Homo-oligomer: A and B are copies of this chain.
Amino acid sequence: MSKPLVRLHVSQPLSMGATITLPRESSHYLIEVMRMQAGDAIAVFDGANGEWEAMIDDPHRKQARLTAQRQLRPQETVPDLWLLFAPIKHGRIDFIVEKACELGVAHVKPVITQRTIVNRVPVDRLNANMVEAAEQCGRTALPSLAEPVQLDKLLANWPQDRTLLFCDETGGTPILEALQEKPRGTPAAILIGPEGGFTDTEREMIRAIPTALPLSLGPRILRADTAAVAAISLWQATQGDWA
Contacts and interface: CB of A to CB of B under 8 A. Distances in A.
A47 interface: no
Nearest to A101: B220
A84 interface: no
Contact of A221 (B137, B174, B177, B233): B137
A175 interface: yes
B223 A226 contact: no
Contact of A218 (B200, B219, B241): B241
A220 B104 CA distance: 8
A127 interface: no
Contacts of A230: 103, 229-230, 233
A99 interface: yes
Contacts of A174: 237, 242-243
Interface string A93-109: 00100010011100000
Interface residues of A, number: 35
A240 interface: yes
Nearest to A233: B230
Interface of A: 1, 95, 99, 102-104, 136-139, 174-177, 200, 216-223, 226, 229-230, 233-234, 236-238, 240-243
A138 B217 CA distance: 14
Contact of A234 (B99, B220, B237): B237
A197 to B, nearest CB: 9
Given A102-B220, A102-B221, A102-B226, 13 more contacts: A95-B95, A103-B218, A103-B220, A103-B230, A104-B218, A104-B219, A139-B220, A176-B237, A218-B242, A229-B229, A229-B233, A233-B233, A233-B234
